[in-house]
């Protein structure tokens, strides 16, 4: 058996190394029980990289990421790095990876596992069976556009500014991903911007509308302002299938959608580049939606499920291993149904487990379901 699946693992900071460490046990399980092995290399990102190399991402690690079939990312950031200059902050390492790998399409599914419907802050009838996909543009907009800066003004005050900017090709390429995903799901696309206030939003809406007319035959399409979308998400989330939106609105709406599911600790994401026209392969990075959670880091209580589901997405989107991904998803569902909970999703009558205990149970279920 030749290990030809190149997986670069970047655990990062905070709870990242704990949850990634547990997911590597699932990687081992696949090698042992399904005879599929990965060529796993580990690297440093974020604060961990800064500690060793004085930068949140080295050129070598970036080169490794570009050469890998997939990157499995933990999380970055923490109070120890708050005082660093802006360009050296842990988050800059992640943003550089996204930009240099051209990972323009960020898929953030928000789904409610059956056994978790009562953990949402919404009434369970509103979220039970919920399965929506936020598609966030990830390499453009206000996160990257110039000019940006902080400047002194003649009167001694200062100004800080950023630029939101999208070109038609950027809007069209993320729109096409939304259309493609909706065709494989329930056939609805909601495009979200603030065309009532922002020029970039006007262009976004016009361009999406033209794309829908030309390429979204048979799909249900609509446009929605971002503030309304935030409200609709908590009012009646079941109306959505695929929500496609820009970098900043996608950041906010995905946190909101994540919480609908009962825990941020449950949600994975995939960040994908364009498919190579010849080989069909694409750069890809998989990471949980949750952050580094410095307040609980090192205590062995973090929820490993979002990281594991991120790996499951890697199996689906980068390694064409949908069947193995299904196994992992089913094992997670069964463990949740059995009542085991990490602290973030704990509720009355359930059994508390550690990070490792959760993974023990999932591996045990994997043995059973496979």
217 is catalytic: no
CA distance 285 to 269: 8
Contact in structure between 302 and 291 (CB atoms under 8 Å): no
If one asks whether residue 91 binds ligand IPM (CB under 6 A), the answer comes out as yes
Instruction: Report the nearest approach of ligand IPM to the CB of residue 341 (Å).
Output: 24
Q: Which is nearer to ligand IPM, 246 or 324 (CB)?
A: 246
The total of other beta-carbon atoms located within 10 Å of residue 330's CB is: 15
* Distance in angstroms (rounded) separating the CA atoms of residues 192 and 208: 10
246 binds Mg ion (CB under 5 A): no
Is 162 among the catalytic positions? Answer: no
Please report the beta strands in the chain, taking only residues with DSSP state E, as ranges in sequence order: 5-12, 38-42, 70-75, 105-111, 131-137, 149-152, 158-161, 188-193, 220-225, 242-245, 268-272, 284-288, 340-341, 351-352
Task: Give yes or no for residue 365 binding Mg ion (CB under 5 A).
Answer: no
Per-residue contact flags (x/-) with Mg ion for residues 205 to 244, judged by CB under 5 A? ----------------------------------------
Q: Checking DSSP bridges between strand 105-111 and strand 70-75, what pairing results, if any?
A: unpaired
Q: Please, which residue, 22 or 106, has the CB nearer to ligand IPM? A: 106
Quote the crossing angle between the two packed helices 355-369 and 16-33, to the nearest 10°. Answer: 20
Indicate the SS3 state at residue 106: strand
Q: Which stretch binds Mg ion (CB under 5 A): 161-169, 250-258, 307-315, 322-330?
A: 250-258
User: What gap in Å lies between CA 60 and CA 316, rounded to an integer?
Assistant: 27
**Contact window for ligand IPM (CB under 6 A) among 46-54, 89-97, 126-134, 223-231:** 89-97
Minimum Å gap between C-beta 194 and ligand IPM is 18
Given the residues 143, 166, 286, 317, select the one marked as catalytic.
143
We find the least distance from the C-beta atom of residue 255 to ligand IPM, in angstroms, to be 7
What DSSP character marks residue 224? E
Residue 324 within binding range of ligand IPM, rule CB under 6 A? no
Determine the interface stretch with ligand IPM among 88-96, 159-167, 206-214, 357-365 (rule: CB under 6 A): 88-96
Nearer to ligand IPM, 95 or 219 (CB): 95
Contact 361, 338 (CB under 8 A): yes
Residue pair 86/26 in contact by the 8 Å Cβ criterion: no
Measure Cα distances from 18 to 14, 73, 79, 115 in Å. Answer: 8, 12, 18, 25
Known active-site residue 155: no
94 makes contact, choosing from ligand IPM, Mg ion, none, with CB < 5 to 8 Å by partner type, with ligand IPM
Q: What's the Rg (C-alpha) of the chain?
A: 21
Question: Quick one: 89 or 282, whose CB is closer to ligand IPM?
Answer: 89
Task: Confirm whether 317 is a catalytic residue.
Answer: no
Q: Is the peptide bond before 147 cis (omega within 30 degrees of 0)?
A: yes
Asked if 255 is an active-site residue, the reply is yes
Binding positions for ligand IPM, 203-262, rule CB under 6 A: 251
**137 near ligand IPM, judged by CB under 6 A:** no
Closest approach, Cβ 82 to ligand IPM, in A, equals 13
Q: How far is the CB of 95 from ligand IPM (least distance, A)?
A: 6
Residue 185 CB, nearest distance to ligand IPM (Å)? 22
Q: Of 70, 94, 302, 315, which lies in the binding site for ligand IPM, with binding defined by CB under 6 A?
A: 94
Q: Which residues of 145-162 are buried (b: 16+ CB within 10 A; e: fewer)?
A: eeeeeeeeeeeeeeeeee
Per CB under 5 A, 251 contacts Mg ion: yes
* Catalytic-role residue among 39, 227, 276, 295: 227
Q: Quick check: 306 binds ligand IPM (CB under 6 A)? A: no
Footprint on this chain of Mg ion (rule: CB under 5 A) = 251
Footprint on this chain of ligand IPM (rule: CB under 6 A) = 91, 94-95, 251
């Amino acid at each position: 058996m030749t290990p030809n699946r190149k997986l670069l693992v970047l655990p990062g900071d905070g709870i990242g190394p704990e949850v990634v460490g547990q997911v590597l046990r699932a990687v081992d399980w696949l090698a042992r029980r399904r005879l599929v092995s990965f060529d796993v290399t580990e690297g440093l990102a974020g604060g961990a990289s800064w500690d060793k190399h004085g930068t949140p991402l080295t050129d070598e690690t970036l080169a490794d990421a570009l050469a890998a079939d997939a990157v499995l990312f933990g999380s970055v950031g923490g109070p120890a790095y708050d005082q660093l200059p802006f360009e050296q902050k842990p988050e800059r390492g992640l943003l550089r990876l996204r930009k240099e790998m051209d990972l323009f399409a960020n898929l953030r599914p928000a789904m409610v596992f059956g056994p978790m419907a009562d953990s949402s802050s919404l009434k369970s009838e509103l979220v039970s069976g919920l399965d929506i996909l936020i598609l966030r543009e990830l390499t453009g907009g206000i996160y990257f556009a110039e000019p940006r800066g902080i400047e002194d003004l003649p009167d001694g005050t200062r100004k800080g500014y950023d630029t939101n900017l999208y070109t038609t090709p950027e809007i069209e390429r993320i729109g096409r991903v939304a259309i493609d995903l909706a065709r494989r799901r329930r056939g609805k696309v909601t495009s979200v911007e603030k065309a009532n206030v922002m020029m970039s939003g006007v262009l976004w809406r016009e361009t999406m509308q033209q794309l829908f007319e030309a390429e979204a035959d048979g799909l249900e399409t609509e446009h929605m302002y971002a503030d309304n979308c935030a409200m609709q998400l908590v009012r009646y989330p079941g109306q959505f299938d695929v929500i496609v939106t820009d970098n900043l609105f996608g950041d906010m709406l995905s946190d909101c959608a994540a919480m609908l599911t009962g825990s941020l600790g449950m949600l994975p994401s995939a960040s994908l580049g364009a498919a190579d026209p010849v080989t069909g392969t694409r750069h890809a990075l998989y990471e949980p939606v949750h952050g580094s959670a410095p307040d609980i880091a090192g205590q062995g209580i973090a929820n490993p499920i979002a990281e594991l589901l991120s790996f499951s997405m890697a199996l689906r989107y980068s390694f064409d291993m949908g069947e193995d991904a299904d196994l992992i998803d089913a094992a997670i569902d069964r463990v949740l149904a059995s009542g085991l909970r990490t602290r973030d999703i704990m509720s009355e009558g359930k059994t508390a487990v550690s990070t490792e205990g959760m993974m023990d149970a999932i591996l045990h279920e994997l043995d059973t379901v496979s």
